[in-house]
Structure 1
Amino acid sequence: MPKSAKQCAAMRDEMRARILRESLRYFARNGFAGTRVADLARGIGIAQGTIYRYFDSKEDLFASVRELVANGEDVRDLKLLARLPLPAKAKVRRLSSTVLERLADNELFAASVVLNTQIMLEEEPGADGRPAPYRSELYALTARIVEQGQREGSVAAGDPLKLADYFWGVAYLYALKRLFTAGYAMIDAADLERTLLKGAR
């Protein structure tokens, strides 16, 4: 029985999403320069032409992956967390445990953290001379929680963006371990909290 237009559209959407998910993992492991569309297609288990049916070029695919990373679940959750009427200490604890749980359970989240960090590190400093990570929404939202905690006295003193950089730098390190090593030792939430909180155990 022939498929309906709605079923065909759903299948196309599913294939595009699959290509994006697998590409995210592949770009995170190999970088942009080290990614060949032929190898990516082979890894996904599809024909190379299938990728070009959805994306005009490797650059177009990478741009879509970047958009996926920039608007990912971690950023949405952090936006929500930053707005919650909670003490900063509770926000830091929730953020730390969520990041580590996702790193442990979700290779795509680890790939997203790695690729997002690599993209930021490759960008040129802004007009203000600040590095690209300090202009990212992820860092800005984390810095907002840091500033709240500094006002409340629960977060270490210092430049909020540098502290956000330190927090996400540790997350990046463990995301790399998640992607590239077997049997790695994961830190616990209390270890990650120590990057920001005063007197954390």
Structure 2
Amino acid sequence: MSLIKGKTNIIGITGGIGAGKSTVLGYIKEHYNCLVIFSDDVANEIKKKGYPAYDELVSFLGEGILGDDGEIDRAKMAAAIFNNKNKLKTINNILHPAVNTFIINSIENERKENRYDFVFVEAALLIENGYKDIVDELWYVYASEAVRRERLKSSRGYSDDKITDILSKQLDDETFRKNCDFVIDNGKNFALTTGSIDKKLEGWKING
């Protein structure tokens, strides 16, 4: 696929945990005319009053997950589903479709408004959730497993066992590369990372 000037290009950003998707998107947001949608932020937003997911979660888990302000309290919700795989599965079945609906509606709105050169959508499960058919291009942020392990240990304090467990549940490098249109190597010097982005988006940069 090719990106087109004069329209809002929709780009999905995916990659394994610890690859540095947020860092890459921080650079892009600073230097390009774009909207960035983080799936984790969307998941937090749709838990608020006024969204259908809020009502479904409260109905399923009970009002004990609410804080004094009537909003869902993250810690209380986490405690309510702790070590219960069936509850977690139900929660995911509520949240994942709601997140997808929110993101797809946001994409459609920005396509109509045409205010940005790009809308970037970040999520670990873009490939699994069929976003290849929704976005104009899928980009894969890559870093080697060794680099990702070191980042997760230093920034999040994860143990080797926890990291191994998380990695075992994510797509492998070959699958990411097969399904994505552009690969960003974010495992070495960040200047090389940004250089590859600028080369890809040559002519769009607004902040040098």
Q: TM-score, normalised by structure 1?
A: 0.29
Q: TM-score, normalised by structure 2?
A: 0.29
Larger RCO (CA under 8 A, 6+ residues apart): 2
Instruction: Write 1 or 2 for the structure with the bigger share of helix.
Output: 1
